[in-house]
Chain A
Amino acid sequence: MTQATAHAIPPSAPGVLLRTGVLALVAVLVMAVALSAGPRAGAILAIGLGFGLALEGFRFGFTGPWRRMILERDASGLLAQLLAIGIVACAALPLLAANGAELKGAHAPIGFAMVGGAFVFGAAMQVVLGCGSGTLVNAGSGNAIGAVALPFFAIGSFAGAYHLSWWTALGRLPVATLDGTGGLAITLAGLAGIAALALRLGRKGSHRLPARYWGAALALAVLAILHLVVAGQPWGVVYGLGLWVAKAVVAVGGDLSGSVFWSAPANAAQVEASLLTDVTSLSDLGLIGGAALVAWWRAGFASPVGVLPARAWVAVIVAGLILGYSSRLAFGCNVGAFFSGIATGSAHGWVWFIAAFAGSWVGIRLRPALGLEARK
């Protein structure tokens, strides 16, 4: 392939006029949400779009880098994640310390169900090659596995939240947080320690981050800080997905009064309110839209959907349900617990990382057995 053809726009790529029109349409959509649901809703939707653009645009995520670290000893993607978390922590922890009434962190308790949930989530995310954000990105970019997993992820999230109190009653510690300057120093030291371990275990040369990883880390960090400043809470994914199903259950006459979680006043009010007033729903919708926009821009929608055996689709459905359910027990997915938890000083984020990474090791080995990739 010559240099000229390598940079040529694919034949099926949209033209300039169409691209301009679609960008204008997206801007109108964000404005419409801002005008109908308030400026904060429009801003969060725009930030969600940014997350989708960054993750799909830089072809970055959480599952793939962990897989490459485990299988290929390529530490570069994990290092980029740690870099992004560190940047967010440098802004988030001082902001939280100074504005504790207006802003809140992703602070959750460590417990038996939390650790088990993170382990199972790590395994399931490797089965479908999509975590919380990854499943949304995959679905938006036309990946059939992501699209099939997403509704079951949502159902699982609803069910996990429904039973959350029972699971946490099995045993949990008080919420432990790292606050202020001391907390920031410990957080950065912890991230540096994990990075040093990854570099020691990683193969030679994996300390060199490709340009797209630098771009992804910086973009995600800026967007995550913006999210905290605008929404008053860190970036999350899973609550919104469960809320969508809760609203559907109520719409068909279901009764949520039997659930401690869904009948709690704040959650019951959110079930009654519009999705366009819910922070995580807005950022989730934006994320899907941003990923779709990049895929369309690159003419990536022309690719054929891969053919998988029936047992692989069953595995995707089951893994989707497990992803949703376990992420509620774990107080978050890779975004809400790992990324936002650590960046806002929650001890549960660190425990989540260790448990989910161990689960990933198992999940990678499950894929061939489930027909999702060839046996070696």
Chain B
Amino acid sequence: MRRVHVAMLVGLGILGLVALDQAQSDPLNPYTAPPMLALGSGLAATGGHCAAPPPPVR
């Protein structure tokens, strides 16, 4: 087995992940997407990040 085989398996896994995700997720709409740059957009940063403190327990 060579590295190319491993990389192909990883690539297939990612392709499968993206394909399945597109099949089950809300459809994409580029017209409601945020502008290219967050800086200067006037919008609050809302993306998920591993350093974000946990949400409060309800």
The residues in A between 228 and 261 inclusive whose CB is less than 8 angstroms from any CB of B are 228-234, 236-240, 243-244, 247-248, 250-251, 260-261
The residues in B between 3 and 53 inclusive whose CB is less than 8 angstroms from any CB of A are 3-7, 9-11, 13-14, 17-18, 20-22, 24-28, 30, 33-53
CB proximity of B22 to chain A, nearest CB, Å: 6
Among listed A98-106, A178-186, A313-321, A366-374, interface-contacting one: A98-106
Find out whether the CB atom of A340 lies under 8 angstroms from the CB atom of B51: yes
CB proximity of B8 to chain A, nearest CB, Å: 8
Given contacts A104-B49, A331-B50, list 13 more A-B pairs with CB under 8 A: A34-B30, A105-B51, A139-B10, A164-B54, A165-B57, A232-B41, A232-B46, A233-B49, A239-B52, A260-B58, A266-B46, A275-B21, A278-B47
* Complexed CA–CA distance, A151 and B27 (Å): 25
Find out whether the CB atom of B43 lies under 8 angstroms from the CB atom of A102: yes
B contact residues vs A (CB 8 Å cutoff): 1-7, 9-11, 13-14, 17-18, 20-22, 24-28, 30, 33-58
- Which residues of the other chain, A, contact B21 by a CB distance below 8 angstroms? 247, 274-276
> Does A336 belong to the interface (CB within 8 Å)?
yes
Which of B14, B28, B52, B54 touches A276 (beta carbons < 8 Å)?
A: B28
Find out whether the CB atom of A272 lies under 8 angstroms from the CB atom of B54: no
Find out whether the CB atom of B22 lies under 8 angstroms from the CB atom of A143: no
Find out whether the CB atom of B54 lies under 8 angstroms from the CB atom of A229: no
Find out whether the CB atom of B3 lies under 8 angstroms from the CB atom of A305: yes
Find out whether the CB atom of A40 lies under 8 angstroms from the CB atom of B35: yes
Q: How many residues of A contact B (CB 8 A)?
A: 89
* Complexed CA–CA distance, A304 and B14 (Å): 22
CB proximity of A60 to chain B, nearest CB, Å: 19
Which of B1, B7, B25, B47 touches A280 (beta carbons < 8 Å)?
A: B47
- Give A105's nearest chain B residue, CB to CB: B51
CB proximity of A149 to chain B, nearest CB, Å: 11
Given the known interface contacts A102-B40, A275-B25, A300-B3, the answer about A288 and B50 at a Cβ–Cβ threshold of 8 Å is: no
* Complexed CA–CA distance, A266 and B54 (Å): 11
* Complexed CA–CA distance, A147 and B40 (Å): 39
Find out whether the CB atom of B36 lies under 8 angstroms from the CB atom of A43: yes
- Which residues of the other chain, B, contact A243 by a CB distance below 8 angstroms? 48
* Complexed CA–CA distance, A72 and B56 (Å): 45
> Does A142 belong to the interface (CB within 8 Å)?
yes
CB proximity of B3 to chain A, nearest CB, Å: 3
> Does A37 belong to the interface (CB within 8 Å)?
yes
CB proximity of A322 to chain B, nearest CB, Å: 15
Selected A-B contacts with CB under 8 Å, 20 pairs: A36-B28, A37-B33, A101-B42, A106-B49, A107-B51, A144-B1, A232-B43, A233-B49, A238-B50, A239-B48, A260-B56, A261-B55, A266-B46, A276-B18, A276-B22, A276-B28, A280-B50, A333-B50, A340-B51, A348-B51
> Does A63 belong to the interface (CB within 8 Å)?
no
Given the known interface contacts A102-B43, A139-B10, A239-B50, the answer about A303 and B2 at a Cβ–Cβ threshold of 8 Å is: yes
Which of A231, A260, A276, A300 touches B47 (beta carbons < 8 Å)?
A: A231
* Complexed CA–CA distance, A37 and B25 (Å): 13
- Which residues of the other chain, A, contact B45 by a CB distance below 8 angstroms? 102-104, 231-233
* Complexed CA–CA distance, A243 and B9 (Å): 21
> Does A214 belong to the interface (CB within 8 Å)?
no
Residue with the greatest number of chain B CB neighbours at <10 A, chosen from A142, A164, A285: A142
Given the known interface contacts A165-B54, A272-B25, A278-B48, the answer about A144 and B34 at a Cβ–Cβ threshold of 8 Å is: no
* Complexed CA–CA distance, A105 and B51 (Å): 9
Which of B14, B22, B53, B58 touches A285 (beta carbons < 8 Å)?
A: B14
